Amino acid sequence: MGFFADSLARVQPSATIAVSTKARELKAAGRDIISLSAGEPDFDTPDHIKEAAKRALDAGKTKYTDVDGIPELKQAIIAKFKRDNGLDYTPTQISVGTGGKQVLYNALLATLNPGDEVLIPSPCWVSYADIVLLGGGTPVFVPTKPEDGYRLKPEALAKAINKKTKWLLFNSPSNPTGAAYSYDDLKVLTDVLLRPENDHVWVLTDDMYEHLLYDGLEFATPAQVEPELYDRTLTMNGLSKAYCMTGWRMGYAGGPEPLIKAMRKLQSQSTSNPCSITQWAAVEALNGPHDFIADNNRLFVERRDFVVAALNKAPGLSCLMPQGAFYAYPSCDGAIGKTSKGGVKITNDEDFATALLEEEGVAVVHGAAFAGSPAFRLSYATSLDALKDACARITRFCEALT
């Protein structure tokens, strides 16, 4: 028996963090690198939110707080769920954690037993499967297709459910594909979950990119679309993306009280409360002005439109138009089997991403990390100038493949 826990051997370090670290190292070594690997907006946190944090600091809000959130923040979250999603919660149905990641982690670790399966429509965020594995459960990918806009179809969901299925882990708009589900797209899925034979399946919905939705699409979340699912849905959200607060670490969820209580128990024995200053900043973020989000989204759309058009001109790539988040997810199927200018045989998307970084200095994350190959994810949450340069390099790389 080794020193390290067996459960650790089953998981991978986060691929997106690994690529970003490699890009930073190359940059530090003097290489000209454009990193499109990180999952965070390039915009700074809005001033009114920073000011709220400064006020909290000056007012001495520097002590331990309630484990799963101060009452003022829970009230702001309750108001947000009502305002944006038409969902009613009480304070004992709200959990606040150190990032959406911790909230997901709490929910899965508090509920999974060996043999329990978690359905994950793929391509999916890198951490889902690993968190399920750490919790002792079994991740089951349910592949979605580019021709369906990377959206899960009801037949595929129905087929994937069995007696061992505990959760459907749902994410819209999606990291990495940017696919988003309309009310109608969701309704056909919730109808499957309402079938009597599926009444043991719970929904963990990751609404992290709720506000980053484009082209006039309206956001929808499962418990809102199907109120009958309210008692078996955990609605997770956070401030990292739309509020440009990745470093502050703030996530939250609303759901059935026994589940929230179990999550609180776990958190009380791990990190305790999320940062007190962050919590006060979050109260302001949720209750304060939101117009900066529309301003940011206009820039995201401009960048998205540029990137998708540019990628579709590169030989061997094809890219769907993402409807939300700030990622493009081009297929690189047409590059597989070719050889790069530097002599690298491209046998899969990891080879593609590695050679692209080595030869052209553009950091992207290979699709295998998201259980969706052959493709890669690039984040367009960076300046248009950097994106123009990056897309020119990607095109040059693809044109040189033989």
**Residues engaged in binding ligand PLP (CB under 6 A):** 39, 99-101, 125, 171, 175, 206, 208, 238, 240, 246, 251
Task: Single out the residue of 271, 375, 263 nearest to residue 330, CA to CA.
Answer: 375
Q: Is the Cβ of residue 185 or residue 360 nearer to ligand PLP in the bound state? A: 185
Kindly state the smallest distance separating residue 364's Cβ from ligand PLP, in Å. 15
Kindly state the smallest distance separating residue 140's Cβ from ligand PLP, in Å. 18
Kindly state the smallest distance separating residue 206's Cβ from ligand PLP, in Å. 5
Report long-range pairs for 70-77 (Cβ below 8 Å, ≥24 apart). Answer: 70/276, 70/279, 70/280, 70/283, 72/280, 72/283, 73/252, 73/279, 73/280, 73/282, 73/283, 73/286, 76/282, 76/283, 76/286, 76/287, 77/252, 77/254, 77/286
Q: Is the Cβ of residue 193 or residue 325 nearer to ligand PLP in the bound state? A: 325
Kindly state the smallest distance separating residue 118's Cβ from ligand PLP, in Å. 14
Q: Is the Cβ of residue 238 or residue 374 nearer to ligand PLP in the bound state? A: 238
Amino acid identity, residue 160?
Answer: A
Q: Is the Cβ of residue 182 or residue 246 nearer to ligand PLP in the bound state? A: 246
Kindly state the smallest distance separating residue 227's Cβ from ligand PLP, in Å. 24
Kindly state the smallest distance separating residue 349's Cβ from ligand PLP, in Å. 19
Kindly state the smallest distance separating residue 345's Cβ from ligand PLP, in Å. 32
Angle between helix axes 276-287 and 47-58 (nearest 10 degrees) is: 140
Question: What H or E segment, with its residue span, contains residue 34?
Answer: strand 34-35
Give CA–CA dist 85/211, Å, rounded.
12
Q: Is the Cβ of residue 74 or residue 249 nearer to ligand PLP in the bound state? A: 249
Question: Is the separation of the CB atoms in 7 and 136 below 8 Å?
Answer: yes
Q: Is the Cβ of residue 151 or residue 338 nearer to ligand PLP in the bound state? A: 151
Residue 385 CB-density burial (10 A; 0-12 exposed, 13-18 middle, 19+ buried): exposed
Kindly state the smallest distance separating residue 175's Cβ from ligand PLP, in Å. 4
Give CA–CA dist 334/318, Å, rounded.
8
Q: Is the Cβ of residue 170 or residue 397 nearer to ligand PLP in the bound state? A: 170
Q: Is the Cβ of residue 275 or residue 355 nearer to ligand PLP in the bound state? A: 275
Kindly state the smallest distance separating residue 395's Cβ from ligand PLP, in Å. 27
What would the DSSP string read from start to end of 82-104?
Answer: HHHH-----GGGEEEESSHHHHH
Give CA–CA dist 81/94, Å, rounded.
10
Q: Is the Cβ of residue 202 or residue 327 nearer to ligand PLP in the bound state? A: 327
Kindly state the smallest distance separating residue 177's Cβ from ligand PLP, in Å. 11
Strands 251-254 and 233-238: antiparallel
Closest residue to bound ligand PLP by CB: 99
Give CA–CA dist 349/49, Å, rounded.
40
Q: Is the Cβ of residue 240 or residue 279 nearer to ligand PLP in the bound state? A: 240
CB atoms within 10 A of CB 199: 12
Give CA–CA dist 119/167, Å, rounded.
6
Strands 376-379 and 365-366: antiparallel
